Amino acid sequence: MASLKRTIALLLVGICTMSAGKIVPSDDAVNVKTGKSQLDESQREFALEDGAFTAVKMGDWTIMINQEMADRISPADLLPTAEELADNDGDVVVVKSMDEAVQMIRNAMAERRDSVRVEIVNEFKPYADWHEWYAMAYDDWEKSVSDAMAQDLMAHTGVPYEGDYIQYQQAGWGYSYGTDLKVIDDKLVTFIECVFEGYYSTAEDEDQMNVQVPEVIASLGFTPLTSKFEKIIAIHDWICTHVTYDNEHLNDETYLRKHSAAAALLDGTAVCQGYALLFYRLCLECGVDTRYISGWGFDGKEWGAHGWNIADPGDGRYYYVDTTWDDAYFEAGIADGYYTYLLKGSDTDPFGVDHMPKDGFLDALGESYAVSATDFDPSTLPMIGDLNGDNKVDYIDLTILARYLAGWEMYKNLPDTADVSGDGYVTPHDRVTLARYLNKYAFTK
């Protein structure tokens, strides 16, 4: 088997490397005219902490460049023209809070819009003396904008088309902010103006994704009692049997679509990032938490840029999943290798040998996304809906759940498997879900 694995590894020479260019350190963000660094110390720190985008300050604009595109795009490319700004004036959204502003910008990205201007009617009122207001309020508001753009905008919200899905599917974007000294109801109006560049998929693509993703999930035949582990296996298998690696465009630096989930689903071919982002989208649509991981993979000869996932199969821990590399086994028809890279630990073979996240990448995700050192053990998962521990789900379990909800003392302590809907609570909704499951499936299996 060892020699077989090595053979497969060599077959992956052409398909493990995402043609995304080298990772450019934040200090390499330079002024395109002077060649000098444009990052002050706070920006340099942010660029390193963020891990995905490098921030470059150019006049009133902050330019965010996808680090994996840094050798192919300059900050100047993202500065909006006067015509673009004029167009943006006609596309204004008015909100009442920074949280709402961030969501409007997220929505614009999800819709693959070129630009958006958000005006915020602030809670604070300007003083008669504008200079006094600037001294007291503007600095705090300016910091809140910077924090929102750096931390909140690309945050993992659990919404399938936000978070990693938008963060890793565009070349870059820019934003500017300030106030035109406009007042509504004696409240100062501030603005955030954004322009977006180099989406890896189009608005039309995403419209099609919104149609076809539910169709794919429906085809998988999940029931209310399908576990997260079972969902991960089904999604993994669907991707590995419906997507092929895009060798045709592997070395085409201009073809950004190959990195997208849309290419994987709609075209049936993509590079590793497309595989992983489709896995991300499908899992989140099914209530399975997952994240995208950027790093390097070793193909048996050399290390190359690579992307994969971590996912929680239901035990509250995260494990590595690489649909791209497992696809090589599927395409070769080597059945005993189909799950070589499914739900594996960080210290076990093969992930501990041939996968390496970028420095600090996992730390940036936070402690809640710590990757298990050992492989996932399915036997540790209890059966959803099995309330009496007899390893089956039947009407006895439904009776126990009904009595618990009715307040019977002897059933006051139920196992976690009583949370049939997976929302973290045991409510009448769980009883209805379990009853519907039993009525539909109990006599057909």
Most confident of the ranges 150-159, 169-178, 284-293, 434-443: 284-293
pLDDT band at residue 130 using 50, 70 and 90 as cut-offs: low
Which uninterrupted H or E stretch holds 65?
A: strand 61-66
Q: Please give the average per-residue pLDDT across 109-127, as a whole number.
A: 83
Sheet with 92-95, strands from edge to edge, namely 53-58, 61-66, 170-184, 187-199, 115-121, 92-95
Q: What integer pLDDT is reported at residue 55 of this predicted model?
A: 85
Residue 197 pairs in a beta bridge with: 172
| Nearest CA-CA partner of 194 in 77, 63, 73, 66 | 63
The pTM for the full model equals: 0.80
First to last CA, the chain: 37
CA distance 18 to 310: 18
Q: Please give the average per-residue pLDDT across 189-204, as a whole number.
A: 92
Residue-wise pLDDT tens digits, 316-363: 899 999 999 999 999 888 988 899 999 999 999 899 999 999 988 888
* Structural domains in the chain, sorted by start: 2-16+203-380 (3.10.620), 26-199 (no CATH), 395-441 (no CATH)
Q: Which residue bears the tokens 């399975």?
A: 288
Looking at this protein, which amino acid is placed at residue 329?
Y
Most confident of the ranges 238-242, 379-383, 410-414: 238-242
Q: Please give the average per-residue pLDDT across 10-24, as a whole number.
A: 31
12: exposed, middle or buried (Cβ count in 10 Å: 0-12, 13-18, 19+): buried
Q: What integer pLDDT is reported at residue 420 of this predicted model?
A: 84
Q: What integer pLDDT is reported at residue 36 of this predicted model?
A: 29
Residue 57 pairs in a beta bridge with: 62
Tell me: pLDDT of 306 over 60. yes
Which uninterrupted H or E stretch holds 171?
A: strand 170-184
373 contacts 347 by C-beta, under 8 angstroms: yes
Residue-wise pLDDT tens digits, 413-442: 888 888 887 778 899 888 888 887 777 654
Average pLDDT, the chain: 81
95 contacts 104 by C-beta, under 8 angstroms: yes
Q: What is the DSSP string of 173-229?
A: EEEEEEEEEEEETTEEEEEEEEEEEEESS-HHHHHHHHHHHHHHHHHTT--TT--HH
Q: Please give the average per-residue pLDDT across 30-40, as a whole number.
A: 31
Tell me: pLDDT of 50 over 60. no
pLDDT band at residue 136 using 50, 70 and 90 as cut-offs: low
Q: What integer pLDDT is reported at residue 260 of this predicted model?
A: 97
Tell me: pLDDT of 296 over 90. yes
| Nearest CA-CA partner of 264 in 256, 273, 255 | 273
Tell me: pLDDT of 180 over 90. no
Percent of residues, the chain, with pLDDT higher than 90: 43
Q: Please give the average per-residue pLDDT across 26-40, as a whole number.
A: 31
Q: What integer pLDDT is reported at residue 444 of this predicted model?
A: 34
pLDDT band at residue 78 using 50, 70 and 90 as cut-offs: confident
Bridge-based pairing state of the strands 244-245 and 269-270: parallel
Q: Which residue has the higher pLDDT, 162 or 130?
A: 162
Q: Which residues contact 27 (CB under 8 A, 6 or more apart)?
A: 37, 39, 44
Q: Please give the average per-residue pLDDT across 78-82, as a whole number.
A: 75
Q: Which residue has the higher pLDDT, 323 or 149?
A: 323
Q: What integer pLDDT is reported at residue 45 of this predicted model?
A: 33
